[in-house]
Amino acid sequence: FPVTIGCGVGNNLIPLAEMGFECYGIDVSKIAVEETQERARKRGLKIEVSVSDVCVIKFPNEYFDFIVDRSVLTCTDSNTISKAVSEVFRTLRGSGFFVAFDWFGVNHPDLNFGREISQNTFGHFTSGNFKNVEIISTFDFNRISNLLVDFSKFNAKVHKTMDMQDNLTEEKFSFIAKK
């Protein structure tokens, strides 16, 4: 069973359910959960979605085969990220996978539009892609390695986007970790 943490309005869950997977999603926003349920209902899909915090995934140990995070944990603080990764590990089956996309890198240029509020965490953005985001936590390979230390193996990649003058315009990490 796959689950999406911070599922939002179901943009990752709905395609998985359409492929035949039994899907679950959690999000702190009741409005997002209701929208996911409505979108799934209109497509005739069964998706179990609930209002929940990523630090307390309300499922038993070793329940999921696959857990997806797309830019949710990077928009939280370090303490929340550590707790959430522990919950992901707890709820994954023995051979399960944790896949994360769009974790922002320490060199992302839009961090210059905010200020560092604690180590690796930025807020108070005045412009750029993060202007309407409360906080952004940043990552490099070492930080990701430390967070995934309990997993048997993982593969992380950095994705950099450059403009025509070879200036960095975006830096993100993605990874897949096996329990």
What is the pLDDT confidence band of residue 4, given thresholds at 50, 70 and 90? confident
What is the pLDDT confidence band of residue 1, given thresholds at 50, 70 and 90? confident
φ, ψ at 108 (rounded to 5°) = -60, 125
pLDDT above 90: residue 3: no
Please report the DSSP string for 104-127 in residue order.
EBTT-GGGGGSEEEETTEEE---S
Structure pTM?
Answer: 0.92
Radius of gyration over every alpha carbon of the chain, rounded to an integer in angstroms = 17
pLDDT above 90: residue 85: yes
pLDDT above 80: residue 2: no
* Model pLDDT for residues 90-132, shown as the tens digit of each residue: 999 999 999 999 999 999 999 999 999 999 999 999 999 999 9
pLDDT of res. 98: 98
Tokens for 27, please give them. Answer: 């999000």
Count of Cβ atoms closer than 10 Å to residue 62 Cβ: 15
